[in-house]
Amino acid sequence: MASEVRAPSDALPNAPVELRRDVSIWGSFTWGYADVGADVYVALGLVMGAAHGATPLAFAAAGFVYILIGFAYTELASAYPVAGGGQYYTLRGLGDIWGFITGAALLLDYTIDIALFATASAGYINFFFPAIQSYGVDIGPFHGINLIWAAESLLLIVFLMILNIRGIRESSLFNSLIGALDMVLESTIIVLGFLFAWKPEMVVMQFKNEFPSAEQFFYAVSVAIISYVGLESISQAAQETRRPATIIPRTSVSLIFVVLLFAMAFPVLSLGILPWQTLAERESDPVAVLASAIPYVGFLAGHAAAVLGATIVLISANTGVMGASRLTYSMSECHLLSPWFNAVHPKYRTPVRSVVFFSGVAAVEAAFSFLSGPKAMDTMVNMYAFGATLAYFMSFIALIALRIKDPYTPRPYRMPFNIKIKGVYIPVLGIVGAFATLGMLGVVIWTHALGRIAGPGWILLWLGVYLWYRWRNKLPVLSSVRHDWEKEQIAILTSAEEFDLLEQYKLALTERNKKEAKHASK
């Protein structure tokens, strides 16, 4: 098959094996949809518990920031279609150490993503087994530990690890099949819910009478935004996407509006059918509880929602494995991490060591979270937002820096609303996005007690690894390795088979060189 391209027989035995480009437009869309589409299934109950009657407003506030992030990542991923996402953009725009810090933030995000969504998937499975939901044992100073739920979560993490070792094509096919089914079932729940059960006066009543405090509301917004990491997943798969300059803009723009529609519909529907307390008490399976409350079809819809909830959040955990492994592949390629992470499986051509290592980290995070008893998901969520908001803030800064430092790279998609200053298009929405994500990072530090300790602690730990690796290998510790970005960009566009963009890039460089030579001769 064409997707199984192998190295030529006369290739050097130790030559590096690159990731294959095997992700189609539908596969790219479902990678992103899996992550952000799963937001409702996990965040609905958690956000409802904090935002109460203002839950739709919390999702709307998070959605505004998400749109800005979406526009930024669409531009960056289509212009620089390589694995690495925000880490790579920051590396090119700001330098090695800032690229590493962004990468470390994303690794925290991805490993918690794997642990949280595997746990949530098991939670939806347990909708069919109420006895498991209420199970808990005391072990020493730890109370109410659900060992069965923990075991289910760990088994799902192992399953996803094996799936990603097998390869991106098999993993993407898994996403595509379940993603299509999920969108149909989500739409069905929304339509039937609004037709047969929704009461607008109930939404208004809860909004007026059950409004949260300012701290609770901002905490809810930070919880709602944490699952908007799907566009980062698309950028991580850019190096394995066919014709990325065409596919990524279509995928990303479509994803922005599809996900925003679902993310806003579910909380509005929920508050028109049930009291917010009902869903807050069932944070492990809120969509299934909501579907069960729909007249005429609830006895079937609840079970269907539990099945689709289990599958879609498992897809999100799957994109976490994919993102972490491809991110470390990129970081080791850029001399930010040991080449040990760069090893590619000789048969499946996947970054096997990265897959195994970070799946193991996720398993440890899940196991420790269950020590908090019934609040296992809350514990993971508390750590989740720090990495995402920090990485998104750094990506906005990198977007602005690359507009100034690298105006010659063709941009198939450009963020709207730009101001031209001295020949450079400055993105107005990029500046707004930088301030918005910086504000969200401040909210996370303010409202997430565990996150403000574990998040910076994780960054400092990995920063120590980075400094040791660079010192041991006699690489610049606080400055950057010398990069020939122009040569690399030519290689990137050639590998992506974006020959029109390659020609545009070469012409732009030639024109620049002529101007510089003319200026030097004066």
For residue 12, being part of any structural domain is answered with no
Task: Give the model confidence (pLDDT) of 291-319 as tens digits.
Answer: 999 998 898 889 988 988 898 888 888 87
Q: Which residues contact 53 (CB under 8 A, 6 or more apart)?
A: 205, 206, 207, 208, 209, 210, 211, 212, 271, 276
Confidence of residue 11 (pLDDT cuts 50, 70, 90): very low
For residue 200, being part of any structural domain is answered with yes
Give the percent of the chain with pLDDT over 70: 87
DSSP letter, residue 109: H
Q: Which of 77-91, 129-143, 187-201, 288-302 has the lowest mean pLDDT?
A: 129-143
Task: Give the model confidence (pLDDT) of 281-292 as tens digits.
Answer: 888 889 999 999
Secondary structure in 3-state letters for 411-458:
CCCCCCCEEEECCEEEEHHHHHHHHHHHHHHHHHHHHCCCHHHHHHHH
pLDDT top residue among 183 and 108: 108
Confidence of residue 244 (pLDDT cuts 50, 70, 90): confident
Q: Please tell me whether residues 239 and 369 are part of one structural domain.
A: yes
Q: What is the pLDDT of residue 3?
A: 34
Q: Is the dihedral of CA 408, 330, 39, 111 positive or negative?
A: negative
Tell me which amino acid residue 512 is: R
Q: Please tell me whether residues 374 and 500 are part of one structural domain.
A: no
- Cα distance between residue 217 and residue 167, in whole Å: 41
Q: Residue 137: beta bridge partners?
A: 145
For residue 450, being part of any structural domain is answered with yes
Q: What is the pLDDT of residue 183?
A: 81
For residue 244, give the nearest of 90, 37, 92, 411 by alpha carbon: 411
pLDDT over 50 at 92, yes or no: yes
User: How many residues does the structure list for the chain?
Assistant: 522
Q: What is the pLDDT of residue 131?
A: 86
Confidence of residue 428 (pLDDT cuts 50, 70, 90): very high
Task: Give the model confidence (pLDDT) of 402-424 as tens digits.
Answer: 999 999 999 999 999 999 998 89
pLDDT over 90 at 359, yes or no: yes
Distance of CA 347 to the CA centre of its chain: 27
Confidence of residue 179 (pLDDT cuts 50, 70, 90): confident
For residue 304, being part of any structural domain is answered with yes
Q: Please tell me whether residues 363 and 500 are part of one structural domain.
A: no
DSSP letter, residue 424: E
Q: Which domain holds residue 496?
A: 492-522
For residue 119, give the nearest of 283, 231, 292 by alpha carbon: 283
Q: Please tell me whether residues 458 and 498 are part of one structural domain.
A: no
Q: Please tell me whether residues 388 and 498 are part of one structural domain.
A: no
Q: What is the pLDDT of residue 25?
A: 59
* Most confident by average pLDDT, 32-36, 311-315, 398-402: 398-402
- Our count of domains for the chain comes to 2
Mean pLDDT of 367-394: 88
Q: Please tell me whether residues 167 and 67 are part of one structural domain.
A: yes
For residue 460, being part of any structural domain is answered with yes
Q: Please tell me whether residues 509 and 440 are part of one structural domain.
A: no
- Cα distance between residue 361 and residue 229, in whole Å: 19
Q: Which CA distances in Å does 280 have to 58, 114, 370, 382, 428?
A: 15, 23, 19, 16, 38
Mean pLDDT of 142-169: 88
7 close to 17: Cβ distance less than 8 angstroms: yes
Mean pLDDT of 366-381: 87
Task: Give the model confidence (pLDDT) of 185-218 as tens digits.
Answer: 888 999 999 999 999 999 999 999 999 999 999 9
- Cα distance between residue 115 and residue 94, in whole Å: 31
Task: Give the model confidence (pLDDT) of 495-513 as tens digits.
Answer: 888 889 999 999 999 999 9
Q: Please tell me whether residues 419 and 522 are part of one structural domain.
A: no
pLDDT top residue among 25 and 341: 341
And the tokens for 336?
């930010």
Q: Which of 373-377, 429-433, 512-516 has the lowest mean pLDDT?
A: 373-377
Ramachandran category for residue 167: left, alpha or beta (phi over 0 → left; psi -120 to 50 → alpha): left
Q: What is the DSSP string of 311-338?
A: HHHHHHHHHHHHHHHHHHHHHHHTTSS-
Average pLDDT over the chain reads 86
Confidence of residue 28 (pLDDT cuts 50, 70, 90): low
For residue 1, being part of any structural domain is answered with no
Q: Which CA distances in Å does 245 have to 67, 351, 501?
A: 20, 24, 9
Confidence of residue 36 (pLDDT cuts 50, 70, 90): low
Q: What is the pLDDT of residue 93?
A: 96
Q: Please tell me whether residues 435 and 510 are part of one structural domain.
A: no
User: Beta 142-145 vs 424-427: how paired, if at all?
Assistant: unpaired
- Per-residue b or e along 466-491, where b marks 16 or more CB atoms closer than 10 Å to that residue's CB: beebbeeeeeeeeebeeeeeeeebee
User: Beta 418-421 vs 424-427: how paired, if at all?
Assistant: antiparallel
Q: Count CB neighbours of 194 within 10 A.
A: 16
And the tokens for 181?
């089914």
- Cα distance between residue 289 and residue 2, in whole Å: 45
Q: Please tell me whether residues 415 and 497 are part of one structural domain.
A: no
- Cα distance between residue 77 and residue 70, in whole Å: 10
CA distance between the termini of the chain = 58
Q: Please tell me whether residues 427 and 514 are part of one structural domain.
A: no
Q: What is the pLDDT of residue 415?
A: 94
Query: Mapping DSSP to helix (H, G, I), strand (E, B) and coil, where does residue 101 land?
Result: helix
Secondary structure in 3-state letters for 359-397:
HHHHHHHHHHHHCCHHHHHHHHHHHHHHHHHHHHHHHHH
Task: Give the model confidence (pLDDT) of 333-344 as tens digits.
Answer: 889 999 888 777
DSSP letter, residue 169: H
The domain spanning residue 381 has which CATH number?
Answer: 1.20.1740.10
Q: What is the pLDDT of residue 9?
A: 36
Query: Mapping DSSP to helix (H, G, I), strand (E, B) and coil, where does residue 27 land?
Result: helix
Q: What is the pLDDT of residue 15?
A: 41
Q: What is the pLDDT of residue 5?
A: 33
For residue 10, being part of any structural domain is answered with no
Q: Please tell me whether residues 386 and 499 are part of one structural domain.
A: no
Q: Residue 145: beta bridge partners?
A: 137
- Cα distance between residue 234 and residue 319, in whole Å: 9
